[in-house]
Amino acid sequence: MTRYAGRHRSPAAPAPEAARAHRHQAPPKRRVARPVVAAGLALGLGLTAIGYAAATGLGSGEAAFVVGDGLAAQTEELARTSVVDTAYRAAASVSRNERRTAIAAAGVATAQQVEAKAKIEAEKQAQALAEQQKRQAAEAARVQAIAAARDNPRAAARVLMADHGWTSDAQYNCLVNLWNGESAWRFTATNQSSGAYGIPQSLPGNKMAKFGNDWQTNPVTQMRWGLWYIEQSYGNPCNAWSFWLSKSPHWY
């Protein structure tokens, strides 16, 4: 009699490859929950504390105190170290910035000092050059005035007066008036009654040889002697002019 399989027929045997794969499939790993790990660590610390307490003769309460005090001390030390390290790093950063700022400021100050020194030196050189040019111009004017003394004895007398320190207009005007009255500034002027000669009316005329043997023809020689005589006798031209005015007939 034929058996009815229907829905109750036996399942077909698995294929050999599937069976082998099923046999070698690794069992799933079991995950250990974090609370279990934490509990294990806590248990380990507790056992260690109990062992330490047993070895040192402490009770369970004292062991717990030792563990707690150690953790607190470590925590405090870590916090203190962190604060100190942070403060050191901040101070080092500030120090570096200050040093860079100081170096930069020193560089600017040095540059400004160099620039100021160079400016002062340039001003000194410009002033020295201006003074040199002024002296050269004065000397050139002096040489020119003396060379033209025959044509313009007054201009020559003005530059010669500077050798005696008489540079004011007042002293120059006194000299002009004095020698106007004596000779009208003529280097060949001769007083027929006394024999006085030249622009300053030297008496006798050969006294002027003190400043040169050309005293008869050179107005510069005559004026050098005349200015020397005024300084020796009266101190300056204005004193000589006042004395000349006080005499009648006039003389000095």
Element (DSSP H or E) covering residue 38: helix 34-56
Does 163 share its domain with 95? no
Q: Which among 112, 141, 166 is the end of a domain?
A: 112
Does 162 share its domain with 223? yes
Q: Which structural domain, as residue segments, surrounds residue 62?
A: 43-112
Total tally of structural domains belonging to the chain: 2
Does 241 share its domain with 161? yes
Residue 235 pLDDT: 98
Query: Residue 156 to residues 174, 176, 218, 222, 240: CA-CA distances in angstroms?
Result: 15, 12, 12, 11, 19
Contact (Cβ atoms closer than 8 angstroms) between residue 221 and residue 211: yes
On whether residue 138 sits in a domain, the answer given is: no
Does 103 share its domain with 175? no
Contact (Cβ atoms closer than 8 angstroms) between residue 231 and residue 164: yes
Contact (Cβ atoms closer than 8 angstroms) between residue 189 and residue 197: yes
Q: How many residues would you count in the chain?
A: 252
Q: Which among 84, 112, 140 is the end of a domain?
A: 112
Residue 103 pLDDT: 76
50, burial (CB in 10 Å: exposed 0-12, middle 13-18, buried 19+): middle
On whether residue 57 sits in a domain, the answer given is: yes
Does 105 share its domain with 171? no
Does 108 share its domain with 55? yes
Q: Which among 51, 85, 112 is the end of a domain?
A: 112
On whether residue 139 sits in a domain, the answer given is: no
On whether residue 63 sits in a domain, the answer given is: yes
| Pairwise CA distance, residues 158 & 117, whole Å | 41
On whether residue 209 sits in a domain, the answer given is: yes
List, in order, residues 6 or more apart from 48 with CB less than 8 Å away. Answer: 67
Q: At what angle do helices 237-246 and 169-183 cross, to 10 degrees?
A: 40
DSSP state of 249: S
| Pairwise CA distance, residues 122 & 168, whole Å | 33
On whether residue 13 sits in a domain, the answer given is: no
Q: What is the mean pLDDT of each run of 10 residues along the chain (252 residues)?
A: 45 48 50 47 48 48 47 64 66 72 78 85 91 89 93 96 96 98 97 95 97 97 98 98 96 96
Query: Residue 131 to residues 81, 137, 159: CA-CA distances in angstroms?
Result: 73, 10, 18
Q: What is the pTM of this model?
A: 0.53
On whether residue 224 sits in a domain, the answer given is: yes
| Pairwise CA distance, residues 124 & 144, whole Å | 30
Contact (Cβ atoms closer than 8 angstroms) between residue 238 and residue 169: no
On whether residue 2 sits in a domain, the answer given is: no
